Structure 1
């Protein structure tokens, strides 16, 4: 049997050639029927009257299309739609809900399998396959159809039922449908506003300078003016703390030595101030663009935005003014923080750009403001969208311009539904993450930039479970000074005080390289990375620890975490460095003390070493991403094997269960800070293991808090016991998905 995602991909590729809606839905049923080798495949979609209408079929009578309509709860199809649960029947006619339609010609088909197609908790349709013989469909066939239904309802805009009200897409040729990346969840309908200032760093012309001193003065004045503009925008902004935090990132970059030193080096070569700016910025951008880690890769956008701001000051270019008294969708090649500062945020309904990623500052700010964002659009010519009616679907990464009335009405319904859901989540900020049986789960967030601080606080984060301290090292052209590090760390610790902040010591290597200290290795993920590098450069690690201790003075919320630990001597060496740093600082008159010190459990060897390490650690945090990679020998960034990566693999679950059991026995605080902590299925297992601290992206906090408050830890333990007897990832995820549906998660947020 073909894999469902491959079939879905083929359908989506072929759908682009479909002449009209009917051809599209007919293509779907034809492909599914042939893939499963069944007698009948039918697609029922919910129309504007909330009836399930037979829209396409391969196997039933042609006259049945459009003439078979069922209400929710009526017949087998209506029952599936109402219950939002599949039916697998060996003898369909014997089911009490069976309803016969003479026009269908279906009396000869007994084996019956139907699955609901659900998006955002709503049933949009039902997929049905039938065979003549009396038999129950296999688990594999069941899983295939469920997967097809889920994938198609998402990929084909998640709004198939709206197509019932449109005779043909070719009749509405002014409709534009652009696909992109989900930057921030949500849906909006508003007028498009295409920003005009589309300067690019690469297009800046290169020229010789008019003398080093003259050009040096020009760039200094431009930097000062840029700083003054940032200060002014901060004072007048309507975007809240998150926008202020993003502006602070630019202010820090403006005074960073790598910027000034890089520009100075180019000026001494005899080029103009703008050329020096361009060349020095492009060197830094190239470092981030080359990184595999999407979080770090997205930081290149910040440098581009800042470079263009400085260039405008050099050339005395006036920025665009955005004046509106109605909601707008900001559209452009790269919508930046600067654009947010030009207009009152109450009028910004959404963001759409042909550049950016889900981790860029544009997406960060859109999430913080609670507006949808679609980035990485598949079309670069967006000028004609100015002033048009735009539907922006941040859930699906979709932009629709000039949509017909039925589609608009459907999206208006979804917007009302989503508003009600968000209202249900907003109150959670002030409530504890407490299970139904009274167990409290601490929810922390992961961060690495000042710009990520506010979203966590705004969503009720109880601390920082992972602060990536390598970021300041990666945006420099040299190792940052102790003073520079103190300033950055202090800002993070102060923002969260008295809540705890877990700072991971320098973790480079693997996919995280320093531009000024390249490491060439055949197998970097098993090489010179994390604490291995830091201990070989003892002075660099000592400076960082000193900076953390100094930043913690008067706040006392610092915890230090050691990455990539694989043996006891590494941990003892870290303790010796911390003790030495404390001794030095006390001699200098600084009132420092030793903070809690913990380790990341990401190298599998740690699992069996915990008893030997007990006397030297205060806490353990499971880095589920790397632990999964190392346990399964899978590089998740390698497209050839990434499909084998899953933290719900039986071996990974057993390994984490063993860590949790051992930490409980040894009385060691335990948390999880990898992607597993924000996966709803995995969270059920972690709660069942007794893990009571999770750290994740700030934007996942409300969802996971909702899940915790609707889960019972004793029931989670029962789920865990059952899952540990299962032998495949597929079976595990199916069992976990069933429980999510049982507690209402799937209805609230959709299938995972």
Structure 2
């Protein structure tokens, strides 16, 4: 069964046209289940119906024309119940819908299963038979399993179709948005600039061409380049392996010289496909044919065909990728955006970030907010290949991305972008003012940083210091650990940026979604693994060098504070304090004088730590709440996993209650507390935190002015009433809606959505 299922799902991914893929699925599923009919309906959310897209057994003339409402028929019942419906005599069922066009008079039994992707029913697959009997358990299990696997394959294919639709004048209608997770607020218009670490057939989005001659030339050049590479490889292998072993390269060359392979690819190009798509179709067809052969030797040739096809594909795509210039007004698109990618692109050219992986609190999203760049994360079904150079609109508020948007959408977003700039100009008017509420309650606003660019962004803005200096960022964009002197110079710049104001430097916090390229950490579950304080305690030489650099940089300045990340126990803090004191004693001896001793703080981001506030308060001078990881661990949601991104929410009642508990415990033990997580940079989160009693916050430089403006226009009494209202609500979205409504009433809605 597994082999059959895999073959059917592979067919969806292999076929360049969704309709053709569904036709193949219907036929293969019908044969595998030994039924008389198999049909596939896809959901049309706009028109609220299921459209018959493929069938093997019903009338072909009904395909593309017969639509069944979400509340109609047995197909609608399957979608509504979101579970299989198995009926021996469908005609007697009260939900049976008579549809003469489909010609299903000879069928009696019916089995339907919902096709679900990310909690949404995207379609229904059904099988029918003339017998008056229910389908057996094995048939139900097969169809349910097939439907479950089809969900993501169909969503991916529909994303490809959406992109193709924007290119074709015949198919072009109002632009369809691809939806991900809002990672960093703002609107960006520009050209997609795709960075792909690997080129594979799976990543190739089928694409048409009108320049057949050019594509044939490109294919032949790629073949020639591959032959040259094979000749070099063959020569190297002959020196170290027997001639019969290295003869595999002769087989590869024979494949490339085979007129049949070249002829098939060129035939597909003549059918209107570009060279990469044509090669994909031919190679996958050959592999599919060989995979059905009984001869094991022939089946093993699949690896050779894929390898040679991959080599030609790489030479087809690589030449284009290497020769392309970095455009102005680009929107970076990648499987996973990294700090090194951002470091390579000039800031003035970067308008937005679009990532297949990640969520609103993955490290890439945090970097985007630090740079003030709109970002959308978790676009799971985004086909990267052939996106390069497309006109793109990115909405960092709603999580929508439009590729090749139509004139109407473009005009709408250009208006919103103008309003965004007007709002930015408005908040600049209070840049030099201190942060306080309308009734005069003082609030401390600091910046989160780690990038030199942040100091430029915040120049001229009255911030109260650095609430969180992420020391790992300079580590991540290098090829080796920075020396003590290199670290010292970096830390001096940060301390000098805010003379006389506290600068909270977090000790190295890598692991999870923050790997070091020269210090790889491979774990099945990295967020619950070796990260933060756990790693640095296991490598005291790393921590000691870093702390020495911090203490040395603080000489003559005196505004350093050190934050310890990922604290889970008193013993961890005690061991860290021992190492910090050791570094301090070494420097005092080296300089023959007392060097400034910084305050030491602990981050509250692991749930266990919040129940030890009393014990920890005896050891540290202050606490800082990391709402990013605290939310992740309280909700058991990997914040970098797009599949569960919708479950990650600061405004979950459990998270709100934990934050309120922390504020009360810190007050009880008379220990200062701040919030350095990204929640503080969101107007809704900021108001809720103020209502709990927090008065010290840290956020990205881009959000600081907006936070000042929001606080300036609301009183403490109004804020505290919000906490009373939200405490009675069980749904995160309702909590957000309550606070958003208040912001709208105050004319501050432009801070939480596009426009003013």
Q: What TM-score does the superposition give when structure 1 sets the normalisation length?
A: 0.53
Query: Which residue pairs with 1:556 in the alignment?
Result: 558
Cα deviation, residue 430, structure 1: 1.9
Inter-partner Cα distance in structure 2 for 1:610 and 1:361:
27
Stretch moving more, 736-745 or 437-446: 736-745
Query: Which residue pairs with 2:486 in the alignment?
Result: 484
Inter-partner Cα distance in structure 2 for 1:619 and 1:508:
22
1:593 to 593, 596, 602: 596
Counterparts in 2 of 1:550 and 1:180: CA distance versus 1, 3 Å: farther
Cα deviation, residue 594, structure 1: 0.9
Inter-partner Cα distance in structure 2 for 1:370 and 1:413:
20
1:617 to 616, 620, 626: 620
2:416 to 399, 414, 418: 414
DSSP 3-state at the match of 1:706: helix
Counterparts in 2 of 1:445 and 1:378: CA distance versus 1, 3 Å: farther
1:437 equivalenced with 2:439 (yes/no): yes
1:648 equivalenced with 2:682 (yes/no): no
Query: Which residue pairs with 2:98 in the alignment?
Result: none
- Mapped contact 1:628–1:646 kept (Cα < 8 A): yes
Stretch moving more, 681-690 or 331-340: 331-340
Counterparts in 2 of 1:391 and 1:517: CA distance versus 1, 3 Å: closer
2:704 to 698, 701, 704: 701
Query: Which residue pairs with 2:676 in the alignment?
Result: 673
Counterparts in 2 of 1:709 and 1:579: CA distance versus 1, 3 Å: same
DSSP 3-state at the match of 1:467: strand
1:11 to 30, 42, 45: 45
Inter-partner Cα distance in structure 1 for 2:702 and 2:670:
31
- Mapped contact 2:371–2:454 kept (Cα < 8 A): no
Query: Which residue pairs with 2:543 in the alignment?
Result: 541
1:499 equivalenced with 2:501 (yes/no): yes
- Mapped contact 2:431–2:461 kept (Cα < 8 A): yes
DSSP 3-state at the match of 1:428: coil
Cα deviation, residue 471, structure 1: 3.4
Cα deviation, residue 454, structure 1: 2.5
Cα deviation, residue 689, structure 1: 1.4
- Mapped contact 1:582–1:593 kept (Cα < 8 A): no
Query: Which residue pairs with 2:637 in the alignment?
Result: 634
Query: Which residue pairs with 2:534 in the alignment?
Result: 532
Cα deviation 1:169-224 (Å, max 9, x = unaligned): 968959987869778765688xx8899x999999999999xxxxxxxxxxxxxxxx
DSSP 3-state at the match of 1:561: strand
DSSP 3-state at the match of 1:616: coil
Query: Which residue pairs with 1:290 in the alignment?
Result: none
Query: Which residue pairs with 2:468 in the alignment?
Result: 466
Cα deviation, residue 601, structure 1: 0.9
- Mapped contact 1:607–1:659 kept (Cα < 8 A): yes
Stretch moving more, 644-653 or 620-629: 644-653
Counterparts in 2 of 1:668 and 1:361: CA distance versus 1, 3 Å: closer
DSSP 3-state at the match of 1:429: coil
Query: Which residue pairs with 2:451 in the alignment?
Result: 449
Inter-partner Cα distance in structure 2 for 1:610 and 1:473:
31
Counterparts in 2 of 1:333 and 1:15: CA distance versus 1, 3 Å: farther
Stretch moving more, 459-468 or 659-668: 459-468
Inter-partner Cα distance in structure 2 for 1:434 and 1:615:
31
Counterparts in 2 of 1:496 and 1:520: CA distance versus 1, 3 Å: same
Inter-partner Cα distance in structure 1 for 2:450 and 2:747:
33
Inter-partner Cα distance in structure 1 for 2:718 and 2:662:
21
Inter-partner Cα distance in structure 2 for 1:633 and 1:728:
17
Cα deviation, residue 488, structure 1: 2.4
Inter-partner Cα distance in structure 2 for 1:9 and 1:509:
41
- Mapped contact 1:11–1:31 kept (Cα < 8 A): no
- Mapped contact 1:179–1:378 kept (Cα < 8 A): no
Cα deviation 1:716-747 (Å, max 9, x = unaligned): 22222333344443443343333333333325
Query: Which residue pairs with 2:747 in the alignment?
Result: 744
Query: Which residue pairs with 1:735 in the alignment?
Result: 738
- Gap runs ≥5 in structure 2: 1-41, 53-65, 77-167, 200-221, 234-318, 335-340
Inter-partner Cα distance in structure 1 for 2:673 and 2:355:
41
Inter-partner Cα distance in structure 1 for 2:540 and 2:178:
49
Cα deviation 1:246-281 (Å, max 9, x = unaligned): xxxxxxxxxxxxxxxxxxxxxxxxxxxxxxxxxxxx
Stretch moving more, 712-721 or 723-732: 723-732
Q: Aligned Cα RMSD in Å?
A: 5.3
Counterparts in 2 of 1:482 and 1:33: CA distance versus 1, 3 Å: farther
Cα deviation, residue 409, structure 1: 5.5
- Gap runs ≥5 in structure 1: 1-7, 19-26, 38-168, 209-307, 323-327
| Number of residue pairs aligned between Structure 1 and Structure 2 | 486
Counterparts in 2 of 1:177 and 1:704: CA distance versus 1, 3 Å: same
1:603 equivalenced with 2:601 (yes/no): no
Cα deviation, residue 350, structure 1: 5.4
- Mapped contact 1:425–1:702 kept (Cα < 8 A): yes
Inter-partner Cα distance in structure 1 for 2:364 and 2:525:
34
Cα deviation 1:153-177 (Å, max 9, x = unaligned): xxxxxxxxxxxxxxxx968959987
Cα deviation 1:321-348 (Å, max 9, x = unaligned): 99xxxxx74578899777759xxx6xx7
1:82-481 map, 5 Å: 329-330=329-330, 340=346, 381=386, 398=401, 403-404=406-407, 410-411=412-413, 413-457=415-459, 460-475=462-477, 478-481=480-483
Cα deviation 1:1-44 (Å, max 9, x = unaligned): xxxxxxx99637999999xxxxxxxx99976999xx9xxxxxxx
- Mapped contact 1:178–1:379 kept (Cα < 8 A): no
Inter-partner Cα distance in structure 1 for 2:481 and 2:724:
48
- Mapped contact 1:333–1:380 kept (Cα < 8 A): no
- Mapped contact 2:471–2:508 kept (Cα < 8 A): yes
Query: Which residue pairs with 2:586 in the alignment?
Result: 584
Inter-partner Cα distance in structure 1 for 2:368 and 2:512:
31
Counterparts in 2 of 1:526 and 1:402: CA distance versus 1, 3 Å: closer
Cα deviation, residue 468, structure 1: 2.0
Cα deviation, residue 582, structure 1: 1.8
Stretch moving more, 199-208 or 711-720: 199-208
1:692 equivalenced with 2:695 (yes/no): yes
